[in-house]
């Protein structure tokens, strides 16, 4: 019997398995967030139940699907791969295995009485699911050297990068030694955006779990952190899942100095691509990333729903959340830092 025609068995991961991460490293469709370390990070930070499914065919690992079960009074109960991040979903090179993994996920959804399953794919798989295409990932192909990248920038962009340098702002890369500086900037920015902030424990857990991959870049005005970014490398790509700057310093463009130093770091470390994260086409963050030369790549977020209902709309653009966003923006910072982590754990 050849491998393609053999029966596929779907199993639930019960303990760490080195085969899982080996498969992630060898599979072109696997992302950073498919690594097994994120299971531990999510469980330790948020306490969510996880279901890490894998397919076995002819005694070989043939596919994976990490799932996190989230539930709250506000948003209901759902399974998602993966919450808080831009990537996830089913990884396999077999259509048969993909459908088997989805079938097992649906079984779990029924047993959990979940309202839906959300799978974050970068391919439009034909597996009978509703698909949302409102988001893109902004990717920049990096040249061999940072000098080549600098020469590709228009003069206006180079001028914006130099502005904070001329003002004496400095840059520092670190890990746990920079986490508090990063978090102070991040918490202020999230409050100003009207969004609950993640707990600092999330970033500490990532740095502890992925010490060879994760770094923090901070821009300082003297001793005060004014911009900071959290970066993680995987395969040939460096990405920035979180970045923030203080609005009161906008005239000095510290965010431009931040991104340039991170891009330079990525080039110097030999990465071939930089992932600016997801955006809505033609909105502000999209245009910001576009000016660096980043190009959009379509996201395909796919949904299983047990009933004939609409796809979930848990995002800041949903009009029903606008009042809550405006109220959050008025909160004192200490209160937003205390309350935010208690809420954000239920928001994917």
Q: Which of 298, 323, 341 is the last residue of a domain?
A: 298
Q: Same structural domain for residues 52 and 161?
A: no
Is residue 70 one of the residues assigned to a domain? yes
Q: Same structural domain for residues 111 and 260?
A: no
Residue at token pair 């005005």: 221
Tokens of 138: 């902004």
Is residue 345 one of the residues assigned to a domain? no
Is residue 55 one of the residues assigned to a domain? yes
Q: How far apart are CA 230 and CA 244, in angstroms?
A: 9
Q: Same structural domain for residues 274 and 143?
A: yes
pLDDT digit string, tens, across residues 181-206: 999 999 999 999 888 999 999 999 99
Domain count for the chain, please give it: 2
What local confidence, expressed as pLDDT, does residue 326 receive?
Answer: 84
Tokens of 321: 């959340």
Adjacency order of strands within the sheet including 300-304: 9-12, 49-57, 60-72, 76-81, 116-121, 300-304, 130-132
pLDDT digit string, tens, across residues 131-150: 999 999 999 999 999 999 99
98 neighbors 243 (Cβ within 8 angstroms): no
CA 205 to chain centre: 15
pLDDT digit string, tens, across residues 73-130: 777 899 999 999 999 999 999 999 999 999 999 999 999 999 999 999 999 999 999 9
Is residue 179 one of the residues assigned to a domain? yes
Closest by CA to 194, choosing from 71, 65, 329, is 329
Q: How far apart are CA 307 and CA 273, in angstroms?
A: 40
Q: Same structural domain for residues 148 and 271?
A: yes
Q: Same structural domain for residues 167 and 219?
A: yes
DSSP structural state of residue 2: -
285 neighbors 195 (Cβ within 8 angstroms): no
For 46-93, the DSSP string reads H--EEEEEEEEETTEEEEEEEEEEEEETTTEEEEEESTTSS--S-B-S
Q: Same structural domain for residues 151 and 184?
A: yes
Q: Same structural domain for residues 215 and 66?
A: no
Q: Work out the widest C-alpha separation in the chain, in whole angstroms.
A: 69
Is residue 328 one of the residues assigned to a domain? no
Q: How far apart are CA 183 and CA 197, in angstroms?
A: 9
What does DSSP say about strands 76-81 and 60-72: parallel, antiparallel, or unpaired?
A: antiparallel
Is residue 320 one of the residues assigned to a domain? no
Is residue 335 one of the residues assigned to a domain? no
Is residue 24 one of the residues assigned to a domain? yes
Q: Same structural domain for residues 89 and 142?
A: no
Tokens of 238: 């460096």
Q: Same structural domain for residues 165 and 102?
A: no
Q: Same structural domain for residues 142 and 98?
A: no
> Cβ–Cβ contacts within 10 Å for residue 17, how many?
15
Which residue range(s) make up the domain with 56? 3-132+300-312
Q: How far apart are CA 121 and CA 299, in angstroms?
A: 6
Q: Same structural domain for residues 81 and 203?
A: no
Which strand (E) or helix (H) includes residue 329?
A: helix 322-329
**Tens digit of pLDDT per residue, the chain (348 long)?**
344 557 899 999 987 778 999 999 999 999 999 999 999 999 999 999 999 999 998 888 999 999 999 987 777 899 999 999 999 999 999 999 999 999 999 999 999 999 999 999 999 999 999 999 999 999 999 999 999 999 999 999 999 999 999 999 999 999 999 999 999 999 999 999 888 999 999 999 999 999 999 999 999 999 999 999 999 999 999 999 999 999 999 999 999 999 999 999 999 999 999 999 999 998 889 999 999 999 999 999 999 998 776 667 766 555 556 777 788 788 888 888 898 888 888 887
Q: Same structural domain for residues 67 and 164?
A: no
By three-state DSSP, how is residue 330 classified? coil
CATH of the domain at 260: 3.40.630.30
């Amino acid at each position: 019997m050849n491998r393609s025609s053999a029966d596929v068995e779907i199993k639930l991961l019960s303990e760490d398995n080195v085969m899982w991460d080996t498969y992630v490293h060898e599979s072109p469709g696997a992302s950073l967030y498919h690594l097994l370390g994120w299971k531990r990070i999510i469980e330790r930070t948020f306490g969510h139940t996880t279901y890490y499914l894998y397919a076995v065919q002819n005694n070989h690992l043939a596919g994976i699907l990490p799932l996190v079960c989230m539930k709250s009074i506000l948003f209901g109960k759902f399974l998602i791969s993966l919450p808080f991040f831009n990537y996830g979903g089913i990884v396999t090179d077999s259509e048969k295995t993909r459908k088997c993994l989805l079938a097992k996920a649906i079984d779990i959804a029924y047993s959990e009485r979940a309202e839906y399953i959300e799978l974050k794919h970068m391919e439009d798989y034909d597996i009978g699911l509703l698909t949302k295409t409102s988001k893109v990932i902004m990717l920049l192909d990096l040249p061999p050297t940072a000098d080549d990248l600098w020469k590709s920038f228009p003069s206006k962009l180079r001028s914006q990068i130099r502005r904070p340098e001329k003002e004496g702002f400095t840059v520092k890369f670190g890990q746990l030694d920079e986490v508090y500086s990063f978090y102070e900037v991040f918490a202020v920015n999230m409050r100003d955006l009207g969004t609950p902030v993640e707990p600092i424990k999330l970033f500490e857990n990532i740095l502890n779990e992925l010490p060879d991959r994760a770094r923090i870049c901070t821009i300082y005005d003297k001793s005060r952190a004014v911009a900071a970014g959290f970066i993680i490398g995987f395969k040939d790509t460096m990405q920035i899942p979180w970045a923030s700057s203080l609005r009161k310093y906008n005239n000095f463009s510290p965010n431009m100095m931040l991104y340039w130093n991170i891009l330079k770091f990525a080039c110097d470390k030999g990465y071939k691509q930089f992932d600016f994260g997801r955006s809505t086409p033609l909105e502000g963050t999209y245009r910001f990333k576009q000016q660096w030369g980043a190009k959009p790549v379509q996201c395909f977020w796919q949904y299983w729903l047990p009933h004939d209902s609409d796809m979930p709309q848990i995002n800041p653009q949903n009009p029903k959340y606008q009042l809550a966003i405006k109220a959050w923006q008025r909160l004192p910072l200490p209160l937003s830092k205390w309350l935010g982590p208690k809420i954000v754990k239920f928001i994917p």
